[in-house]
A and B are shown apart, each in its own frame.
With several copies, the nearest count.
Chain A
Amino acid sequence: MQLDSLYQEVILDHYKHPQHKGLSPIFTAQVHHVNTSCGDEITLNLNIENNVITSLTWDGQGCSISQASVSMLSDLLIEKSLEEADVIAKSFSQLMASKGTSDGDPEILEDAVAFAGVSKFPGRVKCALLGWMAFKDAAIQSQGESK
């Protein structure tokens, strides 16, 4: 069933058991992003110390894809340097733009390669990217702060 390539077990698992959900009071940047076409919302608190992501927490509501994506994102990025995070974010964006032609790099994306199937559903790519856009924004703001 084609649908299963979208809703991988690991995605539904993150959806049901979201990681790092609940905002930490300590952050260098806080951003709020909305997917205007469906109303999904996310607030993301990012804390950066010495160029390393020491905490990344979030809250929000949305579909399984957007929620699972931000949950995995937090798992992936915490403890990474901003440069490492950037490499991961780029790799994820490329996967999302691949229209089903890429399997994703498990070395970089780990469990998030499960999103490969999402790239076949153009209507859902935005959902998967919601958290990543928020992260990008927060990272820029944090760097602005620390300069």
Chain B
Amino acid sequence: MSFSVANVRKDFPIFERTIRDGKRLVYLDSGATAQKPWAVINAESDFYSKHNAAVHRGAHQLAEEATDAYEGARAIVAEFIGANENEIIFTKNATESLNLVAYAMGNADKGNRFALNSDDSIVVTEMEHHANLIPWQQLAKRTGAALSWFKVTEGSRLDLSNINQVITSNTKVVAVTHQSNVLGTINPLEAIVARAHEVGAVVVLDACQSVPHMKVDVTELGVDFLAFSGHKAVGPTGVGVLWGKPELLDALPPFLTGGSMVSSVTMTDATWADVPQKFEAGVPNMAQAVGLGAALNYLSTIGMDAIREHEISLTEYALEKMLAIPGIRIIGPQNNVSRGATIAFTIEDIHPHDVGQFVDSQGVAVRTGHHCAWPLAKCMNVPATTRASFYLYNDEQDVDALVEAVVGAQKYFGRF
């Protein structure tokens, strides 16, 4: 139930390099994108060098092999989140997955269960990443539907006290993040799912920050759609996933149109293939899907529960060490309850960009800014924060390096 970080790091070639004149790389930006193990890099290379061909199309051996590899990856993804193969759609990233749902709903004709009009409402939260906010703003604008949202409490939790007023009988969609990419807060979903389903709304879960870090089972969660990105789960860039309940994917109109997603085509009209092909227009990101399969297999071998445990104990350690720095303010839960290994903070009035630059000079890679969650920054009343996010290849030494660098930044910018 536990693993050696030192061994894990050996699987990731990037840790063989150094930063800023020979410093050890302390990579604390996995919330933006994760590093890649050889298993993933080699899976992509192998696909290109041995089996590359267009899937589903050719009558030749390479096409058969490519199709097997691609559909095999779909099966791996399905198993990883407790779903069936034909419920998995490959996209280019979670942003596309979420846009897919929003645009496809916008394509629904009157009478379709997803058709929205000015009587309807869409619910989001104040802690959404732009990717799970703006597509819904735009859908609201296109259809005339109202947009409402759950607020965030002082304790950095979703305020569900008014759940019955926010999710009403007019609500058609509730789009919510599983784990905030800024606060680290893991949201409780039972009440939201129960209320949404009570009023006949679907729940769209942004699982970008959860699927890579903990065991996620779509059946247990009870949500209707789920999106995540491969690149945050030690997978390749250029591949994301949308999962949906099969009857909903069936009812949902297509989004991108073109080759491979049709049943028949005339000059003026087209009918659609079955799910998942209906949602995968064009030659797919085959090598990237195969790489994602390798990534999830890699994570499974280490064990998602072990990864979650590791992150919990690392967060425990980090919170304690960081809260001891004078002048620090942690933006997010101060305790280690229902929270992931993402710690955003400000330090006195040193601008996050300057903090980030200083810690970078020490080999510590963090992210600074509003982290694509601008409304959240505004409601936490910070123009920007510095964010450290941990993953399976980080250890307490990395936390120590961060703390030392932050203290160094305080000294550096207080030097006159």
Direct contact of A and B (CB under 8 A): yes
Distance in angstroms from A70 CB to nearest chain B CB is 14
Check A12/B416 contact, CB under 8 A, given A2-B20, A122-B67, A123-B59: yes
* Known contacts A36-B273, A38-B369, A39-B377; is-contact A64 B413 (Cβ 8 Å): yes
Q: Interface 1/0s, chain B 47-66, versus A by CB < 8 A?
A: 00000000011110001100
Output the least CB separation between B343 and chain A (Å).
Answer: 19
A41 surroundings in chain B (CB, below 8 A): 383
Decide yes or no whether B263 CB sits under 8 A from chain A: yes
Against A, the Cβ 8 Å flags (1 = close, 0 = not) of B359-379 are 001000000111000100100
CA distance A9 to B412 in the complex (A): 11
Residue among A7, A63, A65 having the largest count of chain B Cβ atoms under 10 Å: A63
When chains A and B are docked, how far (Å) is the Cα of A16 from the Cα of B368?
21
Asked whether any CB of chain B lies closer than 8 Å to the CB of A110, the reply is no
Q: What 0/1 readout, one digit per residue, does chain B (65-85) give for beta carbons within 8 Å of chain A?
A: 001100000000000000000
Residues of B contacting A: mostly: mixed
- Identify the interface centre among A34, A40, A123: most chain B CB within 10 Å of its CB: A123
Count of chain A residues with a beta carbon within 8 Å of a chain B beta carbon:
26
CB distance from B131 to the nearest CB of A (A): 15
Given contacts A38-B369, A39-B369, A39-B374, contact A121 B262 (CB under 8 A): no
Say which one of B106-114, B209-217, B350-358 lies at the interface with A. Answer: B350-358
Residues of the A chain whose Cβ atoms lie less than 8 Å from the Cβ of B20: 2
Chain B residues whose C-beta falls within 8 Å of the C-beta of A64 in the assembled complex: 351, 353-354, 413
* A124–B384 touching, CB < 8 Å: no
A84 to chain B, nearest CB (A): 29
A1 engages B383 (CB within 8 Å)? no
Q: Is the CB of A63 within 8 A of B353?
A: yes
A33 to chain B, nearest CB (A): 10
Tell me the bound Cα distance from A12 to B357 in angstroms: 14
A103 at the interface (CB under 8 A from B): no
Minimum distance in angstroms from A72 CB to a CB of chain B? 17
Contacts A36-B264, A38-B369, A123-B64: A13 and B351 contacting too (C-beta < 8 A)?
A: no
A100 in contact (CB, < 8 A):
no
B21 in contact (CB, < 8 A) = yes
A102 at the interface (CB under 8 A from B): no
Instruction: Determine whether the beta carbon of A38 is less than 8 Å from that of B368.
Output: yes
Measured in the bound complex, the distance between the Cα atoms of B325 and A146 in whole Å is 54
CA distance A13 to B384 in the complex (A): 22
Mark each residue of chain A from 1 to 33: 1 if its CB lies under 8 Å from any CB of chain B, else 0.
Answer: 111001101001100100000000000000000
Residues on A with C-beta less than 8 A from B358 are: 3
Question: How many residues of B are counted as interface, with CB atoms below 8 angstroms from the partner's CB atoms?
Answer: 32
Q: A3 and B361: CB pair below 8 A?
A: yes
Contacts of B352 in A (CB 8 A): 38, 63
* Cβ contact within 8 Å between A122 and B374: no
Q: Is the CB of A124 within 8 A of B357?
A: yes
Among A6, A9, A12, A36, the most chain B Cβ lie within 10 Å of the Cβ of A36
Contacts of B353 in A (CB 8 A): 38, 40, 62-65, 124, 127
Contact flags A31-57 to B (C-beta < 8 A → 1, else 0) = 000101111110000000000000000
Give the residue name and chain of the A residue nearest to B68 (CB). Answer: A122
The distance from the CB of A106 to the nearest CB of chain B, in whole angstroms, is: 22
Partner of B412 from the list A7, A40, A121 (CB cut-off 8 Å) is: A7
Query: In whole angstroms, how far apart are the Cα atoms of A41 and B369 in the complex?
Result: 12
Flag if A37 contacts B361 (CB, 8 Å). no
Judged by a CB distance under 8 angstroms, whether A61 is at the interface is yes
CA distance A115 to B295 in the complex (A): 37
Q: Shortest CB–CB separation between residue B352 and chain A, in angstroms?
A: 8
Of the residues B354, B369, B415, contact of A37 by C-beta under 8 Å:
B369
Cα separation A9 to B273 with both chains bound (whole Å)? 34
Residues of chain B contacted by A122 (CB below 8 angstroms): 64, 67-68
Give the shortest distance, in Å, between B385 (CB) and chain A (any CB). Answer: 10
| CA–CA, A122 and B57, complex, Å | 12
**Interchain residue pairs A-B with the least CB separation, the first 8:** A63-B353, A63-B351, A3-B361, A38-B369, A39-B370, A39-B384, A64-B354, A36-B263
Sample of 4 more A-B contacts, CB < 8 Å, known A122-B68, A123-B67:
A3-B358, A3-B361, A9-B416, A36-B264
Provide 7 A-B residue pairs closer than 8 Å at the C-beta atoms, listed in order of the A residue. Answer: A3-B357, A6-B357, A61-B383, A63-B353, A65-B354, A122-B68, A124-B353
